[in-house]
Amino acid sequence: MDVDLIFKVAAIGILVAILHALLDQAGRKEAALMTTIVGLIVILLMVAREIVRLFDSIRSMFRI
Amino acid sequence: MEILQIVGLGIVAASFAVFLRNLRPEMALLVSLSAGMALILLAVPKISAVVSLISAYVNRTGVDPEYLSTILKIIGIAYITEFGAEICKDSGESAIASKIELGGKVIIIAMAVPIITSLIETITSIRP
């Protein structure tokens, strides 16, 4: 089910946010930026797969 | 009951989104997007049941099934357009949202043209 998708995305988001803040504190700005970008890409890939599944189900349902 | 699941899921996702909004705004957008999708996929089986029921009735009444399929397509397109436009509005990009809505309206009008022409033909044929 997609319930766990929400929690996965939220968990990764929180993790990346904390990592970003941590690395910022440590003064390594570019590493913080890198982790944010990587986290964003991972979440985008997961969400993109779910979007395709959602649009396919809508297309098959409304016979578009 | 599904409604409890839907409401609970929506509230949890909203709280995650609010929490992430000040830390990482782009993550909040992705959380709200995935929550929207999960909620819709919960409703999909109900919608498909209603759609098949309606098409069964329409086939029995002998109305041209082509009109029903057009109407269903228009509903589907309207829904997807609204889904995308709301996500863009949520993230503050109302300009993009209005462009998406414009595109959706144009496509729907383009699909409604055959129905409108057949309506006009039936009206003119009735005129004495």
pLDDT score at A1:
63
Q: Which residues of B66-103 are buried (b: 16+ CB within 10 A; e: fewer)?
A: eebebbbbbbbbbbbbebbbbbbebbeeeeebeebbee
What is the pLDDT, as a whole number, of residue A39? Answer: 92
Q: Could you read off the pLDDT of B48-72 as tens digits, one per residue?
A: 899 889 888 888 887 777 888 888 8
Task: Tell if the CB–CB gap between A51 and B37 is shorter than 8 Å.
Answer: yes
Q: What ipTM was assigned to the predicted interfaces of this complex?
A: 0.81
Tokens 């910022």: give the residue: A24
Q: Look at residue B42 in the predicted model and tell me its pLDDT.
A: 86
Q: Residue B80 is nearest to which of A5, A53, A55, comparing CB atoms?
A: A55
CA distance A21 to A52: 33
Break chain B into its structural domains and give their ranges. Answer: 64-128
B44, A57 Cβ separation under 8 angstroms: yes
> What would the mean pLDDT of B8-35 be, rounded to a whole number?
89
Q: How confident is the model at residue B86 (pLDDT cuts 50, 70, 90)?
A: very high
Residues in chain A whose beta carbon is closer than 8 A to a beta carbon of chain B?
1-3, 5-6, 9-10, 12-14, 16-17, 20-21, 36, 39-40, 43-44, 46-47, 50-51, 53-55, 57-59, 61-64
Quick one: closest CA in A to B16, which residue? A10
Across chain B, mean pLDDT equals: 89
* A2 pLDDT higher than 80: no
pLDDT digits (tens, 9 = 90+) for A6-63: 899 999 999 999 999 999 999 989 999 999 999 999 999 999 998 898 888 888 888 7
What average pLDDT does range B88-109 have in this prediction?
A: 94
User: 3-class SS at A53?
Assistant: helix
- pLDDT-above-70 percentage for chain B: 100
* Rounded-to-integer distance, Cα A1 and Cα A53, Å: 12
Give the whole-angstrom CA distance, residue A15 versus residue A9: 10
Q: What pLDDT does A38 receive?
A: 94
